[in-house]
Structure 1
Amino acid sequence: MNNEGPAANGGLHLIPFRGLRYVPERVGSLAAVTSPPYDVVVRPDGLLHLESADPYNIVRLILPQANTAGARNQQAAETLDRWLSEGVLAPDPEPAFYVYEQRKGDILQRGVIGALALSEPSEGVVLPHEDVMPDVVADRAALMRTTAANLEPLLFTYRSTGSGTGATAVIDRTILRTPLLATTTEDGFSHRLWSVTDPDDLAEVRTDLSDHQALIADGHHRWATYLRLRAEHPSSSPWNYGLVLLIDTARYPLRVRAIHRLLHSLPVSEALAALTGSFRIKHLDGPLTHALETLADAAAGGNAFLLAGDGGFHLIDRPDAELLSRTVRRDRPEAWRTLDATVLHSTLLDHIWRIPDTPEHIAYIHDTEAAVEQAERTGGTAVVMHPVREEVVRDLAREGVTMPRKSTSFGPKPATGLVLRSLALD
């Protein structure tokens, strides 16, 4: 998406908020209470690991555990209230924007966290690039409705003109000050957070962002949740805004990774047998790193996937052109019709394997090794994807065309638990 210049119907409208933050003296460490976004936590291993890291880990709010959905959501709300009353979490004294920095090796990302006015895709201010799953939106809406809180910021991107003014200038000035918090999580990323409360700085950020659109990099389901809950409340209420992290990718480019599929009930042998005559099948020797290199080479020439789960790797590529013509819808741009995710869902899942896109049949896993390991442990099939190029995502979003759900994983993603937004305080 090329979003230099004003959006079609007005730009981004960001407002400060009173952040809820952990009180360092009440927890073991800030790193121990954080979590990846809810959909990156690999159940059950990752969930149990986070729950045991600290009794106040944020996963108890974003992924509460109980026998029913209603009980889970009520448990999260009661936990949030208890932590506030006990002083484990506390609101900052005044509304602020938050400058957030993530760093690991040569990766550096900085952006602004605030409450963003909600808008529909048709308004041309916030552009999605992926479809969403209604059951996930319903699940997140129930949790957010019960807790009356935005528990984790969504990841949005915009592109500045590179002039070094506006939000960029405010960020550059702010990072010279002592941060509110600094911690390093177990994935090796260091995190720093500053508050911005000076009226002139707030105005400079708001004025700058009002000339831009944003692309949803991560958080399509939670953005759809924001929109659903806004419809349930008066337009002037705090529910008209949602917590986001805005990154200027002209200055801090994000990485784009693939999201893999785990097909619970399809053994690799059956998956391969069904592909005979439709795809080229090549059995690969060697470790995962070699298989991924082979996948990258094949993906440069067309649709390609790795299948894993039987202790080896199988490259499938060169799909039959007539098969694609019959199974992929024609009323979309060529860039959409040739996406790996499009071919996977339209041709493989819907037509050849006939697997419904429901949680009982398909899991979406960000980590490649975890996808392969789970497939081998359960006897299913991992479909390992190659990342789509970022410019393809932008171009399709600009055309108003959404990609198949879970097509991309932009990162680094913000850590959950560093700053929350209570709608009761706004």
Structure 2
Amino acid sequence: MDTAGHSEATAPRGLELTPFRGLRYDPDRVGSLAAVTSPPYDVVVRPDGLHHLQSSDPYNIVRLILPQAGTPSARNEQAADTLRRWLDEGVLTADPEPGLYVYEQRDGDGMLQRGLIGALRVTDPQDGLVLPHEDVMPHVVADRAALMRATSANLEPLLLTYRGNGPTAAATRAVERAAEQPPLLSTTTEDGFTHRLWAVTDPAELAAIQADLAHHQALIADGHHRWATYRRLRQEHPSPGPWDYGLVLLVDTARYPLRVRAIHRLLHGLPVADAVAAVEGHFRVRRLEVPLPEALDALADAACAGNAFLLAGDGAFHLLDRPDPALLARTVPADRPAAWRTLDATVLHATLLAHIWHIPEDSPAHIAYIHDTAATVTKAERDGSTAVLLHPVREEVVRDLARQGVTMPRKSTSFGPKPASGLVLRALDL
């Protein structure tokens, strides 16, 4: 069993990362390990990306994390049936003994990320051990919770970061030592990333890792909705038990810094001409007849001086900057730190979406959140909608706000590289 179980009354003193028996694809039963992986569920650009992944291999993990059926209950039943069938057929098999998993991602541009995958004890917000930096959308949490209940599994790890104590720290040493050994698996996905995985099963080494991590807190880099889901499901199930824990990838960003990118918005049903007309007089607006990379450079330059956004969807780009200070004072809540009030995402949601364009931020019929910049522009041009492109926030700003207990507007940042889904799963009923 992957959970030792502790009384809910026991106050956690730090991160508690526990070993588990990972479920992994049998490479002899699938076309290739790369073909069964997927980006996290909320990064898959639907419907194009979903169809591409479904057709890449009949056992692609997307059939579990984004099942397709007519109703939510039918989708979840389908995922549960698929998981059971793959287990019965030996497509997915459980590793023989519990362990923590060292996971490495590397690309051709010199990006190297390593971290530990394990089952993390789910804690309450007041414990201050796992720091969120974004709000969540209740309907997404409800959707993920229903899927986890149906499958009784954590199908993909969320991404957490912490600041380690240097190269001699036990967790860091364990990660480095594992990476010198032959991996359990190695595969290269079509995005050019090479993924490798090792298991750490030695009891003494596991104990040293756990003792090291017990002195740290973590920042949620990616997976706020899944963490909120873990918390909801823990409350629903008796403790101690497997639902006290959730699957995470924990990365020491003092050793392996992450990339931080923006998450863009696609505003359904709002033509660019209408969006631009509405902001005239409130922002400076400049039309840019340049390719996307040059437009993003212009956005980066403008963002150095203040709030800036790039609108797209009509074949050109429109750079919005220099917002009217009186408008910001009137629309941005004043009861938060200055670092929060001046975020681009704050101004986007409080000023542009709420007051100028009158678009509800939590309505999928009105707004979509997309990670891929080019895909956001393409969809806007195809649909006659407006793409709002943002410049990324620095990790230090995110962490400082999180430590103050201040959440950023939802979908403000995209930390990466994100763990590929499908390399290791956690079944709660093993």
The structural deviation recorded for 1:320 is 0.4
Q: Distance in 1 between matches of 2:276 and 2:169?
A: 55
Q: Residue 267 of structure 2 aligns with which residue?
A: 263
1:302-324 deviation line (CA, Å, top 9, x unaligned): 00000000000000011000000
Q: Residue 79 of structure 2 aligns with which residue?
A: 76
Q: Structure 1 regions of 5+ residues with no counterpart?
A: 1-7
Within the alignment, does 1:252 sit opposite 2:276 as a pair? Answer: no
The structural deviation recorded for 1:165 is 2.5
Q: What SS is found at the alignment partner of 1:236?
A: coil
Q: Distance in 1 between matches of 2:167 and 2:295?
A: 43
Q: Distance in 2 between matches of 1:73 and 1:225?
A: 15
Matches within 5 A, 1:351-390: 351-357=355-361, 358-390=363-395
The structural deviation recorded for 1:174 is 1.2
The structural deviation recorded for 1:9 is 5.6
Matches within 5 A, 1:330-345: 330-345=334-349
8 Å contact 2:167–2:173 — kept in the other structure?
A: no
Within the alignment, does 1:198 sit opposite 2:206 as a pair? Answer: no
Letter in 2 for 1:392: V
Q: Residue 317 of structure 1 aligns with which residue?
A: 321
Q: Distance in 1 between matches of 2:417 and 2:54?
A: 22
The structural deviation recorded for 1:189 is 0.2
Q: Distance in 1 between matches of 2:322 and 2:244?
A: 47
Q: Distance in 1 between matches of 2:374 and 2:158?
A: 25
Q: Distance in 2 between matches of 1:403 and 1:121?
A: 15
- Residue of 162, 165, 180 corresponding to 1:161: 165
The structural deviation recorded for 1:93 is 0.5
Within the alignment, does 1:19 sit opposite 2:22 as a pair? Answer: yes
Q: Residue 53 of structure 1 aligns with which residue?
A: 56
- Residue of 121, 124, 131 corresponding to 2:128: 124
Structure 1's consecutive aligned runs of 4 or more residues displaced over 4 angstroms after TM superposition are none
Matches within 5 A, 1:266-285: 266-285=270-289
Q: Residue 244 of structure 2 aligns with which residue?
A: 240
Q: Distance in 2 between matches of 1:213 and 1:389?
A: 19
Letter in 1 for 2:271: P
Q: What SS is found at the alignment partner of 2:320?
A: strand
Q: Distance in 2 between matches of 1:28 and 1:110?
A: 26
8 Å contact 1:13–1:116 — kept in the other structure?
A: yes
- Residue of 391, 405, 414 corresponding to 2:419: 414
Q: Distance in 2 between matches of 1:176 and 1:276?
A: 58
Q: Residue 5 of structure 1 aligns with which residue?
A: none
1:287-314 deviation line (CA, Å, top 9, x unaligned): 0011000000000000000000000000
Q: How large is the RMSD of aligned CA atoms in angstroms?
A: 0.8
Letter in 1 for 2:153: A
Q: Residue 43 of structure 2 aligns with which residue?
A: 40
What percent of counterpart residues are identical?
73
The structural deviation recorded for 1:103 is 0.4
Q: Structure 2 regions of 5+ residues with no counterpart?
A: 1-10
8 Å contact 1:157–1:215 — kept in the other structure?
A: yes
Q: Residue 155 of structure 2 aligns with which residue?
A: 151
Q: Distance in 1 between matches of 2:353 and 2:365?
A: 14
Q: Distance in 2 between matches of 1:353 and 1:38?
A: 29
The structural deviation recorded for 1:416 is 0.2
Q: Residue 3 of structure 1 aligns with which residue?
A: none
Q: What SS is found at the alignment partner of 1:356?
A: coil
Letter in 2 for 1:65: Q
- Residue of 394, 397, 403 corresponding to 1:398: 403
The structural deviation recorded for 1:164 is 1.9
Q: TM-score of the superposition, structure 1-length normalised?
A: 0.97
- Residue of 30, 34, 39 corresponding to 2:33: 30
Q: Distance in 1 between matches of 2:72 and 2:288?
A: 43
The structural deviation recorded for 1:381 is 0.1
Within the alignment, does 1:101 sit opposite 2:104 as a pair? Answer: yes
8 Å contact 1:130–1:405 — kept in the other structure?
A: yes
Q: What SS is found at the alignment partner of 1:26?
A: coil
Q: Distance in 1 between matches of 2:113 and 2:254?
A: 11
Q: Distance in 2 between matches of 1:275 and 1:202?
A: 56
Q: Distance in 2 between matches of 1:104 and 1:309?
A: 31
Stretch moving more, 226-235 or 59-68: 226-235
Q: Distance in 2 between matches of 1:317 and 1:201?
A: 53
The structural deviation recorded for 1:163 is 4.0
Letter in 1 for 2:373: T
